[in-house]
Amino acid sequence: MSEKSGTALSRRQLLTMIGVSAGATAMYQAMHSLGFAAESKFQGPIRLSAAPKGASVLVLGAGIAGLVAAYELRNAGYQVQVLEYNPRAGGRNWTLRGGDRYTELGGETQECRFDPGLYINPGPWRLPYHHRGMLSYCKRLGVALEPFVQINYNAYLHSRKAFGGKPQRLRAVQADYDGHVAELLAKATRNHALDAEVTAEDQAILLSSLRSSGALDSNYRFVKGADSSERRGFERDPGGGLSARPAFSEPIALSDLLRSGLWAALSFGALYDMQTTMFQPVGGMGQVGQAFARELAPLIRYNAKVVDIHQDERGVSATFEDISAGSSRQTLRADWCVCTIPLSILSQIPMNVGASMARAIAAVPYCTGLKVGLQFKRRFWEEDEQIYGGITYTDLPIGQISYPSSRFFADGKGVLLGAYIWDMRNSMDFTSMTPAERVSKAVEYGSQIHPQYPKEFDNGIAVAWHRVPSAMGCFGLWSDATRAEHYDNLCAFDGRIVLAGEHASYMPAWQEGAVTSALDAIDRLQERAAAGAAA
Amino acid sequence: MNKKRLAPPAAAVLCSAIALASIMLGGFAREGRARADTAGILDSEPFTSTDGRQIYEHVCRGCHMANGVGAIGAGRFPALTKNPALGSRQYMALTILMGKRNMPAFGAKYAIGFGGPPVILNEAQIAAVINYVRTNFGNHYTDPITAAQVGALDQGTH
């Protein structure tokens, strides 16, 4: 740390620093109120009582929620029928591979031209270890899992406005942030600034812990040397023989680090939803939907566009158009309906439910998320930069670049997640572009981080979720206010209809929200079915 | 062991220090916290153009499509051509301000951000994009809306 930034630290400055790191607690509380960081309610495989004789259920939508509901209800003996708009199961659980064709709203068709074995997950792509519902279904359905590398200390943090636009290794930013904060806190402690808050006995322990947590030297300084380089990496790594002597690296100055804004990314790996170990299905997230589809094959009617849902005292009818066969209309009927159609679409389908559920369905706009997959002629991020999986975060509109967590060291081509955009400003902008423009922009922006891009780029594919015909949005966007007013009304049974999906959960966008909402819905369904049969 | 809580005055300083940091730092880093890594570290610039066409092409076109033709999938994005709802500029203004079903709200009072701040359109921007849509894509309305009129409608909502 430079002399200038190391002296004359005011209490106010110190507290600003602590405030930045203490933000984790405030962060968790805010996340909790919004439904994030909620622990999965999954309590092991559901045990439904046997279906009343002849009881039937109509499941609308073959995404994760619909598939879970159909699978469990069928196992319990219900007569299950599933209607799905797409010609495949899974919904947003979806993997694009070489040879796949995808037509978005507006009519643009993209053909995925990835090499065999390479893929992109346009939707969900990772499974936290505590999403026990999803993990349980993967195990039961024989979907093999492998580690998903969330945190890679050798990936980059990048800001156009910092360090001349030169990407910094996460390793160095993390070490320098921890080191500088520890040094400041040690300084404040030794200057008796914390005497009112920390006993003398505890201050001694605190100082030891700061040396340990911040890699401080024996004088409680975070400076260039063995201690700091063992965290942030070396200018020249230690080796063997005559070239063995290491060269230490110079920490980033505190002020430069603070002003870079890169510290904003340091908490990502500490988030409950992002903590290691995370998993991914071998061969793509879409393996989960496909595995369910194999189980339920005869029950799912594909290419079925639901246009009307009507209930009466005895059952529920769903009218649909077979979009593969000239839009002829047909109607299916059952005793009960589990409707998992995204609210972006359900809000436009006539359905005779009460005013409170109808208002809830109409109250939720959808996130405009978007992904771009890019195939390159070689895995330059591994070969040139020793980046094996993980994520680079950037202030460029692409948001992040994620490196594949499988097939490390493979010869041949490789596929990156070249853009993953959630923020509304940029995702709306990207959605407005043609698919080719989105791919081209992702390459252009990514070149600022990886100069190999222009030479090594091969082809790409872009999926903007508002343009996906079956979803027309990425996931339900709740606010504290809309959740307080509408959430319970959305989830409550209305006659013979119950809704399920990530939109009916406190885990927005996560598949675990779809799983747990489906299990909660069918648990209530069986109670009603049993009560009806007994009456 | 006698553990002292952070004394109230110190807590107040801490809070104001965080507030100070909030003012000094731009972008999403401003909040000093993230709800998911998808929040990223993007310093998202507010959308400032007051040109109706620019607003349409960067904010609206994603769903309403080029030339306002809309789209039909499992549901639909309404076309902005031959659509009688366009007859009411007030209806359009309220829809943009408050959102409707899957369409997000763009008024400062209603917009929900995610993974960054929401896109907020001010009165002048909303008037500009309404007037652009109502005089393009085969529409020939001759009664433009003013920013002040959008503002008055916004005042009336709650």
Residues B69 and B114 in one domain: yes
Q: How many domains does chain B have?
A: 2
What's the domain range around B22? 7-35
CA A399/CA A402 separation, integer angstroms: 10
CA A56/CA A78 separation, integer angstroms: 5
* Entry pTM: 0.89
Tell me whether residue B1 is in a domain: no
Instruction: Name the residue among A290, A309, A355 with its Cα closest to residue A497.
Output: A309
Residues B64 and B115 in one domain: yes
Q: What's domain A3-13+168-260's architecture?
A: Up-down Bundle (1.20)
Residues B24 and B79 in one domain: no
Chain A positions in Cβ-Cβ contact with residue B33 (cut-off 8 Å):
23-24, 26-27, 30, 267
Put simply, whether A273 touches B (Cβ < 8 Å) is yes
Q: What amino acid is encoded at A185 in this protein?
A: L
Contacts of B112 (CB under 8 A, 6+ apart): A365, A477, A479, A482, B104, B105, B118
Q: What is the pLDDT of residue B29?
A: 37
Q: What is the pLDDT of residues A424-442, one digit of tens each?
A: 999 999 999 999 999 999 9
Put simply, whether A398 touches B (Cβ < 8 Å) is no
Residues B70 and B22 in one domain: no
Domain edges within chain A:
3-13+168-260, 56-84+286-366+479-534, 96-125+367-467
Are A261 and B41 within 8 A, CB to CB? yes
Tell me whether residue B81 is in a domain: yes
Domain A96-125+367-467 annotated CATH 3.90.660.10: yes
With bands split at pLDDT 50, 70 and 90, how would you rate the model's confidence at A10?
Answer: very low
Q: What is the pLDDT of residues A108-161, one digit of tens each?
A: 999 999 999 999 999 999 999 999 999 999 999 999 999 999 999 999 999 999
CATH (domain of B123): 1.10.760.10
Q: What is the pLDDT of residues A479-528, one digit of tens each?
A: 999 999 999 999 999 999 999 999 999 999 999 999 999 999 999 999 99
Q: What is the pLDDT of residues B53-109, one digit of tens each?
A: 999 999 999 999 999 999 999 999 999 999 999 999 999 999 999 999 999 999 999
Residue A20, min C-alpha distance to chain B (Å): 6
Residues B101 and B27 in one domain: no
Q: Which top CATH class is A56-84+286-366+479-534?
A: alpha beta
Which residues numbered 115-154 in A keep a CB inside 8 Å of some CB on B?
150
CA angle A143, A147, A152 (to 5 degrees): 155
Q: What amino acid is encoded at A39 in this protein?
A: E
With bands split at pLDDT 50, 70 and 90, how would you rate the model's confidence at B121?
Answer: very high
Chain A positions in Cβ-Cβ contact with residue B7 (cut-off 8 Å):
196-197
Longest distance between any two alpha carbons in chain A, whole Å: 88
Put simply, whether A2 touches B (Cβ < 8 Å) is no
Residue A516 CA, distance from chain mean position = 17
Q: What is the pLDDT of residues B27-69, one digit of tens each?
A: 333 334 456 788 788 867 788 999 999 999 999 999 999 999 9
Q: Is residue A188 within 8 Å of residue A288, measured between CB atoms?
A: no
Residues B51 and B103 in one domain: yes
Put simply, whether B118 touches A (Cβ < 8 Å) is yes
Put simply, whether B104 touches A (Cβ < 8 Å) is yes
Q: Is residue B136 within 8 Å of residue B128, measured between CB atoms?
A: no
Write out A77-138 in H/E/C secondary structure: CCEEEEECCCCCCECCCCCEECCCEEECCCCCEEECCCCCCCEECCCCCCEECCCHHHHHHH
Tell me whether residue B101 is in a domain: yes
Are A274 and B36 within 8 A, CB to CB? yes
Chain B positions in Cβ-Cβ contact with residue A468 (cut-off 8 Å):
73
Residues B31 and B57 in one domain: no
Residues B53 and B15 in one domain: no
Q: What is the pLDDT of residue A43?
A: 80
Contacts of A100 (CB under 8 A, 6+ apart): A111, A112
Tell me whether residue B56 is in a domain: yes
Are B18 and A343 within 8 A, CB to CB? no
Which of B23, B63, B95 has the highest number of chain A CBs within 10 A, making it the mutation to test binding with A? B63
Put simply, whether A166 touches B (Cβ < 8 Å) is no
Question: How would you classify the pairing of strands A56-60 and B76-77?
Answer: unpaired
Tell me whether residue B145 is in a domain: yes
Put simply, whether B79 touches A (Cβ < 8 Å) is no
For residue A19, give the chain B residue with the closest CA. B18
Residues B14 and B90 in one domain: no
Which residues numbered 5-64 in A keep a CB inside 8 Å of some CB on B?
11-12, 15-16, 18-20, 22-24, 26-27, 30-31, 34, 36
The two structure tokens encoding residue A121: 């997950």
Residues B29 and B54 in one domain: no
